[in-house]
Copies of this chain bind each other. A is one copy, B any other.
Amino acid sequence: MLRFITAGESHGLGITAILDGMPAGVEVSDEELSFELSRRRKGYGRGKRANIEDDQVMITSGVSDGKTTGAPICVVIPNKDHVNWKGRYVPILAPRPGHADFAGMVKYGFDDCRPVAERASARETAGRVACGYFAKKLLEKEGIKVLSWVVQIGPISAELPPADKRMLSEREAERLFELAEASEVRCPDFAASERMKNLIDEAREKGDTLGGVFEVAVLNAPPGLGSYVQWDRRLDARLAAAVMSIQGIKGLEFGMGFKLSEVPGSKAHDPISIPNRPSNRAGGIEGGMSNGEIIFIRAAMKPIPTLQTPLSSVNVKTKEECRAHAERSDVCAVGSAAVVAESMVALVVADALLEVRGGDRW
């Protein structure tokens, strides 16, 4: 069983993540891990924090001589910015619409929303990406890859090969991924990328924010990961939880997703043939299991809830209407969320693989 847990606040000492259940013998490196973290951090639309965050990640346990040992892996991502916040306490009295602020304050009985904001922050996802790195390395040994790219920012959609094709060809998926990695917004369509960047600039000027849509593809997963036998063992259910748990995600679909609800069965399913199935509308999942095709997930992210031109809110002390709290934040983080989703997907797929293959060493 692969399980992980994160701790840490946005302006605290740092983020800590512990990954338990990794088999022994998987080769890993600090450099690769740092690179993975930088993939999450960067991107057009991310705040200045990105630069501040450029810190030394430390693997403090579970790895010896460049290989996992089977022991829990602890990763610490210190917060360079902490010194600037130490001793300061900036209360959040006007909860931000779209944020955990309000419900969190009520739930835990705080006087203001600061303690909520500190933990609910997406900075926590750095810990997830760290854990995801190890899962990816495990999958890599089986030839399994987890890739992502952005297909939409705000109203601007990338022009890409039709979804059916994106889902069908591993080569196409790898090509899109490579293009995405070269784009500041992680979008494989460079023309669209430019328009997305302009849109982000406009939003920044207005004090507004943007969301978007990204896709995650798992290549080369064997059939039979997950199971139909019990509701909570279904791979799609587990992937859905993992991706939906990322801050800002409001929708997700597998394969053709919502579109499948519009067509008759004769046009919705993927005929079975040898050597290859002609389509992958199901997105690689049938009956709650991987079916040997590309696992394909599309997810929608809402705009960042911290606006520099804030929405209306209510002061929790005075109960008077006011503008919501504003502080330094990103304008758009869809590319980063896609990287986090890669990590979460990798963790779920690796866990399912361990169930099937057994999990001591690799």
Q: A-side interface residues toward B, CB under 8 Å?
A: 1, 3, 5-9, 12-14, 16, 18, 20, 23-25, 58, 60-62, 64-65, 69-74, 76, 89, 95-104, 106-110, 114-116, 118-120, 128, 152, 154-155, 203, 206, 208-213, 223-224, 227-232, 234, 236-247, 249-258, 260-266, 268-274, 277, 282-283, 286-292, 300-305, 307, 309, 311-314, 319, 321, 324, 344, 354-361
Contact = CB atoms under 8 A, between A and B. Distances in A.
Nearest to A311: B271
Contact of A274 (B71, B302, B314, B355): B314
Contacts of A247: 287
- Chain B CB count within 10 A is highest, among A25, A118, A253, A268, for A268
Contact of A97 (B223, B253, B270): B270
A64 B210 CA distance: 32
Q: How many copies does the complex hold?
A: 4
Nearest to A257: B251
Contacts of A8: 60-61, 72, 74
B258 A71 contact: no
Nearest to A19: B7
B108 A24 contact: yes
B61 A9 contact: yes
A100 to B, nearest CB: 2
A228 B70 CA distance: 10
Contact of A272 (B5, B249, B312): B312
Contacts of A288: 100, 120, 245
21 contacts: A5-B18, A7-B18, A9-B71, A16-B16, A18-B18, A24-B110, A64-B115, A97-B286, A98-B282, A103-B223, A106-B224, A107-B289, A116-B228, A119-B228, A154-B262, A209-B265, A241-B244, A250-B256, A252-B253, A272-B314, A357-B358
A71 B301 CA distance: 24
Nearest to A222: B106
B269 A97 contact: yes
A44 B64 CA distance: 33
Given A102-B272, A236-B244, 20 more contacts: A1-B1, A5-B72, A8-B74, A97-B270, A102-B291, A107-B223, A108-B224, A237-B242, A250-B253, A250-B255, A250-B283, A253-B300, A261-B300, A265-B303, A265-B311, A266-B309, A271-B311, A272-B312, A274-B314, A355-B359
